[in-house]
Amino acid sequence: MTPLQQMLAIAALTLGTAVPIGGLAQTATDHHAHAAAPASADLTEGEVKKVDLAAGKVTIKHGPIASLDMPGMTMVFAAQDPAALAQLQPGDKIRFQVTLEGKKMVVSDIQSAP
């Protein structure tokens, strides 16, 4: 065997074993995610665009909100606790909970995201 053939043989062996293991690991991860969804799965990721303390409203560029069947967009939310908005600055990355109160969407549990 030439050194090149040897390398190819090793590469083939490595690929042959690595692929099935990778596939198994992926399946295990997916299964785990479905079996035990953490409470934080309810939180939506977003970025603060504007804070209106006087009105108790905050404009957030948010990611998809599965529970409301809403894709990512920038929109204005009312804050459940308007005082919590005082800590927010435009550009802040946050995670938050959105609940529907009548037809109004209200944010609560605003946390800073890394």
Binding site residues, Cu ion, CB under 5 A: 70, 73, 75
Based on CB atoms, which residue is closest to Cu ion, 77 or 85? 77
Question: Which are the contacts of 114, defined by CB distance < 8 A and separation ≥ 6?
Answer: 93
User: Shortest distance, CB of residue 95 to Cu ion, whole angstroms?
Assistant: 15
In the complex with Cu ion, the residue whose CB is nearer, 30 or 69, is 69
Nearer to Cu ion, 85 or 98 (CB): 98
